[in-house]
């Protein structure tokens, strides 16, 4: 069970692992898509590469933010009955 289930102290580490891998993957996809797009469409211009890489990073960030705080959806604020804590 211990094998299946994550220990409570390892939750954050896993989240971090997931975030970094996600960042790398997304960034790499963005970079590769930008390179391909710049090479094929935008005549070897640099900005499509930077843009797509930025997209990649942004997606990974969003996903990371979701993993760390699933309830923190933009525009939604959860108010607790007992004590309200700022997010």
**CA distances in angstroms from 87 to 14, 70, 74, 75, listed in the order given:** 22, 12, 11, 12
* List of residues 6+ apart from 46 with CB closer than 8 A: 38
Q: Per CB under 8 A, which of residues 11..40 are in contact with other proteins?
A: 11-13, 15-16, 19
Give whichever of 46 and 84 is closer to other proteins, judged by the CB atom: 84
DSSP 72: -
Q: Per CB under 8 A, which of residues 33..72 are in contact with other proteins?
A: 61, 64-65, 68-69, 71-72
Q: What residues make contact with other proteins under the rule CB under 8 A? A: 1-2, 7-13, 15-16, 19, 61, 64-65, 68-69, 71-72, 78, 85-87
């Amino acid at each position: 069970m211990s094998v299946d289930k994550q220990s409570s102290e390892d939750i954050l580490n896993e989240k971090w692992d997931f975030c970094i891998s996600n960042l790398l993957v997304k960034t790499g996809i963005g970079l590769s898509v930008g390179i391909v797009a710049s090479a094929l469409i935008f005549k070897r211009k640099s900005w499509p590469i930077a843009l797509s890489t930025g997209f990649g990073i942004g997606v990974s960030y969003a996903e990371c933010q979701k993993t760390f705080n699933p309830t923190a959806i933009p525009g939604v604020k959860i108010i607790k009955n007992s004590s309200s804590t700022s997010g």
